[in-house]
Amino acid sequence: MFESAELGHKVSKEVWDRELPALREALLDAQFDLTAAKVPVVILVAGVDGSGKSETVNTLNEWMDPRHIQTHGLDEPSDEERERPHMWRYWRMLPPKGKIGIFDGSWYTWPILERAHGRTKTSDLDQDMAAVARFEQMLIHEGALVLKFWMHLSKETQKKRLKSLEKDPKTRWRVTPRDWKHFEMYDTFRQVAERALRSTSTAESPWIVVEATDPRYQRLTVGKILLERLRARLDNPPPKIHIAVAPPLAALDEVNILRALDLTKRLDKKDYEEELLSLQGRLNLLTRHRNFRKHAVVMLFEGVDAAGKGGGIRRITTSLDARNYHIHPVAAPTEDERAQPYLWRFWRHLPRRGKVAIFDRSWYGRVLVERVEGFCSEADWQRAYSEINDFEDQIVRSRSILLKFWLSISQEEQLRRFQERQATAFKRFKITDEDWRNREKWPAYERAICDMLDRTSTEIAPWTLVESENKYYGRIKILKTVVERLEDEL
């Protein structure tokens, strides 16, 4: 994979001086067109130590308008970042539409380092790279242009480069003991990097290996390839994605998981109040358990309108220290949120360990309201199932406790609650014209809900279906599920 980047490529100063002005002008024009077209661009600059990665990043900022570039130089993750899923820090740095995000260090860095140092197995690297490939595929489907540059030096050239930098007092600071240690592991790093690049170099986001022996050749090559890819994207927008798999067929006998729920389950007020106090007390003690700080807790509540999500959430938060939880009510995305992939606004709210995040509606809007109301294409919501499963897998693997609740009521009970809200002055804010419109689409929502439950209730992130026709019963089931899950984990 690296043979062509060890041939001693060079560019003369004459060629550099002749081609650079036109290249810089064309890059600026493409950047302005990019802003107008609202295309996000993700540029990864990776490679061996001493290969001029930072210099390349600085050059791109010099050649283009830095006001529309977000540059991220990434070192070891902070304590805050270590307490979230590995990809959390990168999701928060994604450029919005019309901007360019440059990553000096990326989601490839740590998997490659961990494998090269023998702290993980080859199978771990392969799993990490498969997840990375899916992540980049999602970015592309969300409209991003992804470019990946690997700056390469042969072993002998790297040794000369490090010695040269170390010899000059002005650049000595750039060479660290870690650089020399990595040089001693050159062959191992090369083997691991080749495996990582091979498994993630796809037709839509291929790796571009650039020889870094001659800085002029290196920078001119990166600039020309960047310009070529930008212009190709701007002048030839990608075709719409066509889905290859149809959604599951409805059951022939019209029986589904929602209709099979026993909505007659009830709990009288006296029993409810006794169980409520007992469960809330147990929950409070669990959040003060010494092991609670080793985990984050993510709860999400979905359900038909008026199913009791807010009431269920309040019975949980009453038991918690207000400093340790945050409720995220999810409505239509803001302008800033629409400029990012749809999961971005949820990634950024994941809690650190010892904290609780509660989502009143969630990322499942993509396969529910956006699907039914036509706010996204069929291809978008079809691919969202696997993207959501990946997201939740990363949440759970980061030692977070994930609980998902679907609250269900009948159409008749929903109508009764709607009418009650309209007749009660302090509840009128809870009922809108949109609620009535959604009610008219009950069959379409029922189909979408059943598909969602079938495709996203996994062994690591199962759904808890809550029969909420009787509010007392529903609230106790939610609390009991939370308490029992925390007791099992702690």
- The 10s digit of each residue's pLDDT in 101-135 is 999 999 999 999 999 999 999 999 999 999 999 99
Q: What pLDDT was estimated at residue 248? A: 62
Domain contains 279: yes
* Whether 292 and 197 share a structural domain: no
Span 393-412, average pLDDT? 96
How high is the pLDDT of residue 255?
86
pLDDT confidence of residue 433: 79
Euclidean distance between CA atoms 436 and 305, whole angstroms: 9
Rounded to an integer, the average pLDDT of 43-58 is 94
Which pLDDT does position 27 carry in this prediction?
97
Closest among 469, 460, 315, 451 to 401, alpha carbons compared: 460
Number of domains in the chain: 2
Are 115 and 25 part of one and the same domain?
yes
pLDDT bracket for residue 247 (50, 70, 90): low
* Percent of residues, the chain, with pLDDT higher than 70: 97
Structure tokens at 108: 């490839």
**Which of the listed residues 213, 235, 257 is the one where a domain comes to its end?**
235
Count of residues for the chain? 490
pTM: 0.92
User: pLDDT digit string (tens) for 439-468?
Assistant: 889 999 999 999 999 999 999 999 999 999
> Is residue 256 included in any domain, yes or no?
no
Alpha carbons within 13 angstroms on the beta-carbon side of residue 368 total: 21
Q: Is 214 among the domain residues?
A: yes
Region 335-353: mean pLDDT is: 97
The three-point CA angle 386-82-136 to 5° equals 35
Contact 290, 488 (CB under 8 A): no
The answer to whether position 255 is within a domain reads no
Residue 13 in tokens: 């100063």
Cβ-count burial 426-462 (b if 16+ within 10 Å, e if not): eeeebbeeebeebbeeeeebbbbbbbbbebbbeeebe
Residue indicated by tokens 């360019």: 100
Q: Are 226 and 281 contained in the same domain?
A: no
| Residue 87 in this model has a pLDDT that exceeds 80 | yes
- Alpha-carbon distance 273 to 345, whole Å? 37
3-state secondary structure of 106: coil
pLDDT at position 424 is 80
19 within some domain:
yes
Does any domain span residue 431?
yes
pLDDT tier at 1, thresholds 50, 70, 90: confident
3-state DSSP: the chain helix, strand, coil percent, rounded to 5?
55, 15, 30
Q: Give the Cα separation of 213 and 160 in Å (integer).
A: 10
Residue 193: pLDDT over 80: yes
Residue 404: closest CA among 348, 471, 460: 460
Task: Say what the pLDDT of residue 53 is.
Answer: 94
End-to-end distance of the chain based on CA atoms, in angstroms? 47
The two structure tokens encoding residue 166: 């170390």
Residues 192 and 314 in one domain: no
Residues 304 and 189 in one domain: no
> Are residues 112 and 188 located together in one domain of the fold?
yes
Which of 214, 235, 256 is the C-terminal boundary of a domain?
A: 235
By residue range, what is the domain housing residue 84? 3-235
Tokens of 165: 């930098």
Residue 252 has pLDDT above 90, yes or no: no
Average pLDDT, the chain: 94
What local confidence, expressed as pLDDT, does residue 178 receive? 87
Q: Is residue 262 part of a domain?
A: no
User: Are 206 and 275 in a shared domain?
Assistant: no
How confident is the model over 231-251, as a mean pLDDT?
Answer: 74
Same domain for 109 and 163, yes or no, is yes
Residue 168 sits in a domain whose CATH number is 3.40.50.300
Read off the pLDDT of each residue in 78-87 and give the average, rounded to a whole number: 95
Contact status, residue 460 vs residue 277, Cβ threshold 8 Å: no
**Does the pLDDT of residue 200 top 80, yes or no?**
yes
Q: Are residues 14 and 150 in the same domain?
A: yes
Q: Please state, for a pLDDT cut of 90, what percent of the chain lies above it.
A: 86
pLDDT at 355: 97
Q: Is 25 exposed, middle or buried (0-12, 13-18, 19+ CB in 10 A)?
A: exposed
Among all chains, which residue has been given the structure tokens 């199962």?
Answer: 462
Nearest CA among 292, 318, 305, 267 for reference residue 440? 305
Q: Note whether 231 and 273 are same-domain residues.
A: no
The reply to whether 74 and 199 lie within a common domain is yes
Does residue 260 lie in a domain region?
Answer: no
DSSP secondary structure string for all residues of 297-358: EEEEEEESTTSSHHHHHHHHHTTS-GGGEEEEE--S--HHHHTS-TTHHHHTTPPPTT-EEE
Burial 47-84 (b: 16+ CB within 10 A, else e): bbbbbbbeebbebbeebbeeeebebbebeeeeeebebb
Structure-model confidence comparison of residues 1 and 96, the more confident one? 96
- The amino acid at 299: M
| CB crowding 152-183: b at 16 or more within 10 Å, else e | bbbeebbeebbeebbeeeeeeeebeeebeebb
Place of tokens 């999602």: 138
Among 197, 193, 217, smallest CA distance to 205 is for 197
Give the separation between CA 276 and CA 316, rounded to whole angstroms: 10
Tell me 422's DSSP state. H
Last residue of a domain, one of 188, 215, 235: 235
